[in-house]
């Protein structure tokens, strides 16, 4: 937990260094850049990496808002009448937009043909602008021929391929989202020192924290079902594993490198029966544990069979988690037993040394007794 004094020290140091003004209002610090009039709000208390996010937010006030045209453009542009129909973020080039997004903590990359923009919640406006010009950003990041953004009133007729790219609905790519989430966990583990941790003989790194907090901060657009499918994908492809779920915070094992889902899962599955074989044509063959969607003409029996298969998958995941917890408990119990045996050995040694000391003391007393008898 970060105290209010820590937040105050950060705000005072950054505003004084950058020449900003600060004032306390309605339980928040109001930071203002007098050069461009931009204002940011900082709560009095922060959680987790809040101080780093606040430092980034204060520094972002140095730049004009990305949707604001420069005064020179507003005064000399002869096509100001068309500016109302253009996307506001096209005032910036793709390179300038990417630079501003990265300066605010966004780390854009392309995976599976889609643009991913993990980063802090405060930088979500930059992520939205990148996705609004996704085709141009992907072309810039992959060094391919850029796609020129079209505006209202343009009469260019797209080709068949371009029409398909424009009209298709963006799918949910479980593998790509899982890779993005793994990247965030890998970076978080690196910030914690990259402590080595093994999982079934496989070397990885340790990360301590709540996975739900990472997802909530960087992937707020995921629904509960998609989040569950992504987490199951990471678990079954051996990219993440919760070693101590009851710890505070939980302790996770994170794979060193991304394997693109091609890992071999060494778990036995029951031999398929006649009904399972009959349902094979409609089963999606993939390493991700995504729910299998029945075809449109599927009847009640087929839907029930698919639901039964999904229940088996959930049971297997719960069984794997129970085995993991059992093994962890066994390791802790063995450690306690070893410490107890060592303590018993030390106690036995102390008893032997005590007996020897008592015997030596008795011999000394006997000598003194003999000398005392002679003198008397």
Angle 135-136-142 from CA coordinates, rounded to 5°: 90
Q: Is the confidence at residue 145, as pLDDT, over 70?
A: no
Position 269 pLDDT exceeds 50: no
pLDDT the model gives residue 214: 85
Q: Is the pLDDT of residue 168 over 50?
A: no
Q: What angle do CA 342, 343, 346 make, to 5 degrees?
A: 90
Confidence of residue 293 (pLDDT cuts 50, 70, 90): low
Which one-letter DSSP state was computed for residue 282?
G
How far lies 116's CA from each of 109, 131, 180, in Å?
A: 5, 9, 7
Give the model's pLDDT for residue 282. Answer: 40
Cβ-count burial of 178 within 10 angstroms (0-12 exposed, 13-18 middle, 19+ buried)?
Answer: buried
State the number of CA atoms in the 13 A half-sphere of 134 facing the CB.
14
CATH topology of domain 4-60: Metal Transport, Frataxin; Chain A (3.30.920)
**24-58 pLDDT per residue, tens:** 877 788 888 888 878 888 887 765 566 777 788 88
Instruction: Tell me the backbone φ, ψ of residue 243, rounded to 5 degrees.
Output: -80, -40
What integer pLDDT is reported at residue 67 of this predicted model?
Answer: 53
Whether 130 contacts 137, CB under 8 Å: yes
- What residue ranges in the chain does DSSP mark as E strands? 21-25, 28-32, 39-43, 109-111, 114-116, 196-199, 202-208, 240-244, 251-255
List C-alpha distances in Å: 373 to 360, 361, 368. Answer: 20, 18, 9
Residue 297 is predicted with a pLDDT of 54
- Bridge partners of residue 40, in order along the sequence: 31
As a dihedral over the C-alpha atoms of residue 56, residue 61, residue 67, residue 72, rounded to 10 degrees, the angle is -140
Mean pLDDT for 155-172 is 47
pLDDT band at 169 (very low <50, low <70, confident <90, very high): very low
The domains of the chain are located at: 4-60, 267-376
Residue 150 has pLDDT above 70, yes or no: no
With cut-offs at 50, 70 and 90, classify the pLDDT of residue 264: very low
Contact 214, 119 (CB under 8 A): no
Residue 48 has a pLDDT of: 55
Summarize pLDDT for 69-89 with one digit per residue, the tens: 545 444 444 444 433 333 444
Mean pLDDT along residues 341-367: 88
45-49, 94-98, 116-120, 124-128: least confident range: 45-49
**pLDDT for residue 178 is more than 80:** yes
pLDDT band at 227 (very low <50, low <70, confident <90, very high): confident
């Amino acid at each position: 937990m970060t105290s209010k004094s820590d937040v105050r020290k950060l705000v005072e140091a950054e505003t004084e260094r950058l020449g900003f003004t600060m004032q306390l209002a309605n339980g928040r610090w109001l930071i203002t850049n007098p050069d461009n009039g931009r204002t940011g709000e900082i709560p009095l208390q922060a959680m987790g990496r809040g101080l780093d996010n606040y430092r980034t937010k204060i520094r972002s006030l140095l730049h004009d808002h990305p949707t604001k045209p420069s005064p020179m453009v507003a005064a000399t542009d002869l096509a100001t009448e068309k500016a109302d129909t253009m996307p506001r973020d096209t005032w910036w080039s793709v390179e300038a937009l990417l630079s501003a997004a990265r300066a605010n903590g966004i780390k854009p990359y392309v995976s599976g043909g889609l643009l991913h923009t993990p980063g802090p919640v405060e930088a979500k406006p930059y992520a939205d602008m990148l996705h609004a010009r996704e085709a141009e950003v992907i072309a810039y990041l992959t060094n391919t021929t850029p796609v020129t953004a079209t505006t209202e009133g343009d009469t260019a007729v797209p080709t068949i391929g371009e029409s398909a790219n424009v009209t298709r609905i963006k799918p949910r790519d479980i593998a790509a989202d899982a890779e993005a989430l793994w990247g965030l966990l890998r970076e978080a583990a690196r910030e914690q020192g990259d402590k080595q941790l093994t999982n079934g003989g496989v070397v990885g790194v340790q990360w301590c924290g709540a996975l739900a907090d990472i997802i909530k901060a960087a992937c707020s657009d995921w629904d509960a079902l998609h989040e569950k499918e992504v987490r199951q994908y990471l678990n079954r492809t051996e990219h993440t594993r919760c070693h101590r779920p009851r710890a505070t915070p939980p302790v996770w094992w994170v794979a060193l490198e991304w394997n693109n889902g091609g890992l071999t899962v060494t778990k036995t599955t029951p031999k398929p029966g006649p009904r399972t074989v009959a349902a094979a044509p409609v089963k999606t063959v993939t390493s991700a544990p995504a729910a299998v969607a029945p075809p449109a003409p599927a009847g009640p029996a087929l839907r029930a069979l698919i639901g039964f298969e999904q229940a088996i998958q959930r049971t297997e995941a719960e069984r794997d988690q129970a085995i993991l917890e059992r093994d962890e408990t066994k390791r802790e119990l063995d450690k306690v037993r070893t410490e107890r045996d060592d303590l018993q050995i030390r106690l036995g040694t102390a008893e032997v040394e005590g007996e020897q000391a008592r015997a030596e003391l008795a011999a000394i007393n006997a000598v003194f007794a003999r000398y005392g008898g002679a003198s008397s």
